[in-house]
Structure 1
Amino acid sequence: MTPLVQVIWEDWADRALPLPAYQTAGSAGADICANLPPELRAGGITLTPMERMVVPTGIRVAIPAGFEMQIRPRSGLATRHGITLPNTPGTIDSDYRGPLGVALVNLGPAAYTIHHGDRVAQCVIAPVLQASYRVVDALDETDRGSGGFGSTGFR
């Protein structure tokens, strides 16, 4: 079964830009474009080092119940320029109907300009299970026990 993500455009959006799209047959994530408001299209938006902002995509989505949309960084932007997500992966819940924005942060040493139509992130549609939570008297024992960060070694 292929989940269908319904999409509507914002009134101001440039409808000539592509919807989220897979670039290859084996892609797990569909690339998402920056769809800037008309007044920002000519110059783009610039992220200075350590600056965060939400980049608009010009769309709203309806994700099928039982799924989520994970927003993830694009590896090329992250490795070449330090542009990533401060909340990676970002989660878009199936009941959210607001504007789809991509939170970006510039961890690189130089300012980076995002131009209208640039692919800025990727989205992965994933199944969701909701668990039940219950207080118990004790947890089962494991070999790892309470070993936390770094407790399993480096190699």
Structure 2
Amino acid sequence: MQVAVINRSHHPLPAYQTEHAAGLDVRANLTEPVTLGPLQRALIPTGLFLEIPAGYEAQVRPRSGLAYKHGIGLVNSPGTIDADYRGEVKVLLVNLSNEEFVVNDGERVAQLVFARYEAIEWQEVAELSQTVRGAGGYGSTGTK
């Protein structure tokens, strides 16, 4: 699949870091570092503008290394970039640690995963089919 991209950053385009990686690492495009205190969040620009093909979305996901080493995640994970969005891709980071974290220009702050989706049409019915689970919610499976 080809995705049209405008790169207004001074960094290379997002890239897969290994042969079988699902996500492309996205870099911060900053004029100065951004410091995130504990529980603070910030919208980090990337300088990237995408034209995602219809029927696809780009999912913005956290980087496991930042999460494990520094407690840095995404507020809305995964974030969805819709096929009709043409603005700059920005990453909504949150610091879930007890220590400050500095985001520097060029830092790999998230990853993009492209996924196909299906648009649905609602079919209103009077009742749903029965299953073994039924209406059992959180924590209901595996207990008897």
Which band: TM-score by shorter chain?
over 0.9
1:18-40 deviation digits (Å, cap 9, x = unpaired): 1111001110000000011x3x2
Query: In structure 2, what residue type is equivalent to 1:32?
Result: V
Alignment of 1:42-121 (within 5 A): 44-121=33-110
Query: In structure 1, what residue type is equivalent to 2:77?
Result: T
Match of 1:5 in 2: 3
Alignment check: 8 A CA contact 2:7 2:13 kept? no
The alignment of Structure 1 onto Structure 2 pairs a total of residues equal to: 143
TM-score normalised to structure 2 length: 0.95
Q: How many Å separate the matches in 2 of 1:19 and 1:48?
A: 29
Identify the match of residue 128 of structure 1 among 92, 103, 117. 117
Task: Give 1:52 deviation, angstroms.
Answer: 1.1
Match of 2:138 in 1: 149
Match of 1:26 in 2: 20
Q: How many Å separate the matches in 1 of 2:134 and 2:20?
A: 38
Query: In structure 2, what residue type is equivalent to 1:7?
Result: V
Q: How many Å separate the matches in 1 of 2:27 and 2:115?
A: 20
TM-score normalised to structure 1 length: 0.89
Structure 1 gaps of 5+ residues are none
Task: Give 1:153 deviation, angstroms.
Answer: 3.7
Query: In structure 1, what residue type is equivalent to 2:116?
Result: P
